[in-house]
C-alpha cells in the first residue's frame, strides 16, 4: 500500500497549524534554493577568475623580466600624457592647418607606440582587477554559506514540529544522508539543493493497528 504524501497527511489531520508550518517550510526552501543558485554562480565565476589570474601572472612575470628597470611603464605613462596634451591643443587652440596636421601625425605615431608597449602595462592592471574580483567572490561566499547552515537548522526545527503535530515519529537518518549533511557543513562546500522528504524519515501510525516502521 502506498504511503500517503505529506500534503495528504496534513489534509487528513485538518490542522491549520500544520498547514501553516508546511507553508513556511516551502517558503524557506525556496529561499534556500535561491541562495544555493547564487553560491553556484559565484563558485563558477571564482574558478574562472582563478584560472585567469594564473595565466596573467605568468605573462606579467615574463614582461617584468624583459623590463626589469620599468622603463616601458614609464614610457607608456609619458606617451599617454603627451597624447592628451596634443588632443587638448587641437580641440581648444586656433592654430594653422599645417600645425594641426603635424599634431595629428604625432598623435598617430604615439598611438602606434602605445599599442606596442601598452599590452604589458594593461596586462598588469588587468591582473589587479582580476585579483579584486577574486576577493569579492570570497567575500560573497563567506556571507552566503552560513545562511544555508542557518536555514537548515530552522528547517530541521520546523519538520520536528510538523511531525509532532501530525503524530508521526522520526526514523534515524540513513548513513549516506548523514554523510551528505556532514559535507554540507564543511567550509566552501554548498549544500545540495535536494528536497527534504518527510515520508522518508517518518514512521506512520496505522489506524487501529500496531505501529510499523515504514520501509
The per-residue pLDDT for 169 is 66
Domain count, the chain: 1
Answer yes or no: is 211 within a domain. no
Answer yes or no: is 125 within a domain. yes
Answer yes or no: pTM beyond 0.75.
no
Answer yes or no: is 67 within a domain. yes
Answer yes or no: is 141 within a domain. yes
- The mean per-residue pLDDT over the stretch 101-129 comes to 86
Query: Is-contact 22 181, C-beta < 8 A?
Result: no
How many C-beta atoms lie closer than 10 Å to residue 141's C-beta?
A: 18
Nearest partner of 37 among 147, 136, 131, 129, judged by Cα: 147
Answer yes or no: is 64 within a domain. yes
- The mean per-residue pLDDT over the stretch 200-205 comes to 37
The per-residue pLDDT for 170 is 55
Query: Strands, DSSP E only, in the chain?
Result: 169-170, 202-203
Q: Which domain holds residue 26?
A: 6-203
Answer yes or no: is 103 within a domain. yes
Answer yes or no: is 213 within a domain. no
pLDDT tens column, 37-84: 999 999 999 999 999 999 999 888 887 777 767 777 788 888 889 999
User: What CA–CA distances, in Å, run from 33 to 36, 65, 90, 164, 196?
Assistant: 5, 48, 58, 26, 12
- The mean per-residue pLDDT over the stretch 2-12 comes to 71
Answer yes or no: is 91 within a domain. yes
CATH assignment at residue 27: 1.10.287
CA distance 55 to 31: 37
Amino acid at each position: 500500500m502506498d504511503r500517503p504524501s505529506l500534503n495528504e497527511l496534513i489534509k487528513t489531520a485538518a490542522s491549520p497549524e500544520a498547514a501553516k508550518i508546511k507553508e513556511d517550510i516551502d517558503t524557506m526552501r525556496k529561499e534556500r534554493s535561491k541562495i544555493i543558485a547564487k553560491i553556484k554562480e559565484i563558485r563558477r565565476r571564482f574558478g574562472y577568475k582563478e584560472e585567469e589570474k594564473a595565466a596573467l601572472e605568468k605573462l606579467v612575470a615574463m614582461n617584468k623580466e624583459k623590463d626589469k628597470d620599468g622603463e616601458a611603464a614609464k614610457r607608456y605613462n609619458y606617451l599617454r600624457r603627451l597624447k592628451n596634451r596634443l588632443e587638448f591643443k587641437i580641440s581648444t587652440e586656433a592654430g594653422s592647418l599645417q600645425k594641426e596636421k603635424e599634431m595629428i601625425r604625432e598623435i598617430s605615431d604615439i598611438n602606434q607606440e602605445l599599442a606596442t608597449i601598452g599590452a604589458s602595462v594593461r596586462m598588469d592592471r588587468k591582473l589587479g582587477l582580476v585579483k579584486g574580483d577574486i576577493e569579492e567572490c570570497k567575500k560573497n561566499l563567506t556571507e552566503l554559506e552560513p545562511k544555508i547552515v542557518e536555514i537548515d537548522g530552522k528547517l530541521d526545527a520546523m519538520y520536528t514540529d510538523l511531525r509532532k503535530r501530525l503524530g508521526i515519529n522520526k526514523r534515524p537518518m540513513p548513513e549516506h544522508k548523514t554523510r551528505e549533511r556532514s559535507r554540507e557543513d564543511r567550509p566552501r562546500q554548498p549544500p545540495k539543493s535536494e528536497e527534504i522528504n518527510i515520508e522518508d524519515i517518518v514512521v506512520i501510525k496505522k489506524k487501529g493497528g500496531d505501529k510499523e516502521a515504514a520501509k
